[in-house]
């Protein structure tokens, strides 16, 4: 997935740690983390968006003649994808990979792109001292049914299979395998 979760600094925070090869995280593992965290940024509590859903939505709109839409951009810039720039979903390592953080579900948190970029490879203690986005708090409680727009992704993907790349087909398979029984085919 080409999103800001891939944006990571090579800075070592002053700690000499041998570089480890980073493999893409399995899609099911990523979805498990997002779902466990209710698609809310662990750091600022904002609801995050599954960026492939916005990509398909944009392609769908463009194929219907809406050629000037700014829902998705591979680099998620504010200019070309302002909402994703704020709320795109990313996976954060609590303990940075480059500092030896484990590649296990417990070491992952859902993050918005803004917090992900700010946190970057920072050591946890340093990140705790940095200025963060002010966390959001709901007057009537936290969302329990927010899905990051993954249902929208499934809907568009199944209606327009020709729009899908191999990666999106993999996302669709992973999402459908996780669908609640009530929505199963
Ligand atoms: Zn955040």
Q: What pLDDT score was predicted for residue 127?
A: 62
Distances (CA, A) of 31 to 139, 153, 158, 180: 27, 13, 19, 13
Beta strands per DSSP E along the chain: 89-93, 108-112
42 C-alpha to ligand 1 centroid (Å): 7
26 C-alpha to ligand 1 centroid (Å): 22
Measured distance between the N- and C-terminal CA atoms of the chain, rounded to whole angstroms = 27
134 C-alpha to ligand 1 centroid (Å): 9
Beta-carbon neighbour count of residue 15 at 10 Å? 11
Encode pLDDT of 65-111 as tens digits. 998 999 999 888 899 999 999 999 999 888 776 667 667 888 899 99
142 C-alpha to ligand 1 centroid (Å): 15
49 C-alpha to ligand 1 centroid (Å): 11
Q: How many CA atoms lie within 13 A of 90 on its CB side?
A: 29
Question: Which two three-digit tokens encode residue 139?
Answer: 């007057």
175 C-alpha to ligand 1 centroid (Å): 23
Q: What pLDDT score was predicted for residue 131?
A: 67
**CA gyration radius for the chain?**
17
Question: Which two three-digit tokens encode residue 114?
Answer: 């803004």
160 C-alpha to ligand 1 centroid (Å): 31
Domain boundaries, the chain: 24-128+143-180
- pLDDT tens by residue, the chain, 185 residues: 444 443 333 333 444 444 556 678 899 999 999 999 999 999 999 999 999 999 999 999 999 999 899 999 988 889 999 999 999 999 988 877 666 766 788 889 999 999 988 766 556 666 666 666 788 888 899 998 999 999 999 999 999 999 999 999 999 999 999 866 444 44
């Amino acid at each position: 997935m080409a999103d800001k979760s891939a944006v990571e600094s090579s800075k070592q925070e002053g700690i000499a740690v041998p570089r480890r090869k980073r493999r893409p995280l399995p899609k099911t593992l990523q979805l498990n983390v997002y779902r466990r965290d209710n698609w809310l940024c662990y750091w600022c509590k904002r609801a995050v968006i599954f960026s492939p859903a916005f990509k398909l939505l944009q392609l769908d709109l463009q194929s219907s003649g809406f050629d000037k839409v700014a829902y998705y951009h591979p680099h998620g810039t504010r200019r070309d994808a302002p909402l994703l720039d704020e709320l795109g979903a990313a996976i954060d390592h609590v303990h940075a990979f480059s500092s030896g953080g484990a590649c296990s579900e417990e070491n992952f948190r859902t993050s918005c792109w803004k917090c992900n970029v700010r946190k970057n490879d920072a050591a946890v203690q340093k990140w705790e001292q940095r200025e963060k986005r002010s966390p959001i708090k709901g007057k009537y409680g936290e969302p329990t049914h927010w899905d990051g727009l993954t249902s929208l992704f499934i809907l568009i993907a199944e209606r327009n299979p020709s729009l899908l790349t191999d990666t999106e087909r993999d996302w669709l398979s992973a999402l459908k395998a996780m669908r609640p029984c009530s929505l199963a085919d």
